[in-house]
Amino acid sequence: MRTRKPSEHRAEHFLHVYWLLGSGRSLNLLRQTLGKLGVKISRQTLERYSSDFHWQARITQMELQAAEKLREHRVAETEEILELEFEIGKEMLNIVQKALQQMVKDNVHLSPSDVVRFAVAGAEIERKSLLGQQPSYPEEIEAAINSIIISVCRIFMDVNDLEDKEERKRRFAVAFNRAIEGQAKLLMEGGRVQSS
């Protein structure tokens, strides 16, 4: 394995500072920045480093890698959102199922149009999220979802400090189910949604 000369190490460090200067970077700006950091270096030395160690090509490569990482992050973020949308659609179908079961148990009647509307909305949200599309919600469901999202954030903050991972998951699941069931009950009682 080849050992690097001290000048190669310096050039490598300076290259990273140069890259961090962004699209307005220049060797003069790099020299000024290094000077502010207490490093004295001539422009000629920076020009030599730039030429000898192919800074322009490496900067281009670094920019492409950074752009790819950003793209990957955005894709992952989008996938998480779509997964959440899918779960919301699935939970809406569960809400309809639980509400119907409870209504049969309590001998409560819901209009067929309400049952169909919630079932169709849940299935549509689930379908669109699987296709990578942004679903649209009826107004009262949108309000319920917003309330659930706020509840999920609160639940997460409450359980996040727990050391035991399994206990954290268990408490999150229990609190999440309570939040969903609470919103389902409110929706079935006439479309009123808990304000957060």
Least confident of 3-12, 48-57, 129-138, 148-157: 129-138
Q: What is the pLDDT of residue 193?
A: 40
Q: Which amino acid is at 23?
A: S
> How does pLDDT run across 62-119, given as a tens digit for each residue?
888 888 888 887 777 777 777 777 777 677 667 666 666 666 666 655 566 666 666 6
- The structure's pTM equals 0.41
51 or 190, greater pLDDT: 51
* Cα–Cα distance, 93 to 121 (Å, whole number): 9
Give percent above pLDDT 90 in the chain: 13
pLDDT tens by residue, 142-178: 666 667 677 777 777 788 778 888 888 888 888 877 7
Query: Which band of pLDDT confidence, cut at 50, 70 and 90, is reported for residue 51?
Result: very high
CA angle 33, 37, 42 (to 5 degrees): 60
Confidence of residue 43 (pLDDT cuts 50, 70, 90): very high
Over residues 48-66, the mean pLDDT reads 91
Q: How many CA atoms lie within 13 A of 130 on its CB side?
A: 8
- Distances, alpha carbon 141 to alpha carbons 118, 146, 153, 158, 189, in Å: 9, 8, 18, 25, 13
Rounded mean pLDDT of the chain?
76
